[in-house]
Amino acid sequence: MKLARRLFDFLRNDEKRMIYIMRHVGIMGYLLMIVSMTSCAGFNPDSIEETPREDIILAMKIKAKLIEAEELKAAAIHVETVNGSVRISGFVETESQRQLASSIIQQFPDVKQINNQLKVK
């Protein structure tokens, strides 16, 4: 109760300070309202698809092998996996690098299909 009283006295003693605080509280409330409304606008819990753990692990292993390959610039290669089907996209310098990425991925026994969308610069 003492804290509330001290705050009230603080605000009452300086009208400019109170106007300043109220203005900023209003702006923050308005911004919070906008953020909360826009974040909920497109949310549909029924549309959430969970990526299976096996796909995540496979993508991480593939990315690690691509990074190990000195001939490739793995930072420019994006790896996605869905039920053992692997899609790689991004950019490489040469056609041989593009083919090397596919051959590295073929070494994994869990890979069912490779969709190589790498583009040669």
Structural domain harbouring 78: 53-120
Kind and range of the H or E run holding 116: strand 113-120
Q: Domain count for the chain, please give it.
A: 2
Over the stretch 3-35, which tens digit does the pLDDT of each residue have? Answer: 777 767 766 666 666 666 666 666 666 566 666
Q: What is the pTM of this model?
A: 0.57
Judgement on whether residues 28 and 13 belong to the same structural domain of the protein: yes
Judgement on whether residues 12 and 68 belong to the same structural domain of the protein: no
Judgement on whether residues 105 and 86 belong to the same structural domain of the protein: yes
Count, residues in the chain:
121
For 112, the 3-state DSSP assignment is coil
Mean pLDDT of 93-107: 93
Candidate ranges 33-42, 54-63, 99-108; pick with highest mean pLDDT: 99-108
Judgement on whether residues 84 and 39 belong to the same structural domain of the protein: no
For 119, the 3-state DSSP assignment is strand
Q: Report the percent of the chain where pLDDT is more than 90.
A: 31
Judgement on whether residues 41 and 87 belong to the same structural domain of the protein: no
Q: Are the CB atoms for 119 and 91 separated by under 8 Å? A: yes
How many Cα atoms sit within 13 Å of 90 on the Cβ side?
Answer: 19
CATH number for the domain spanning 115: value is 3.30.1340
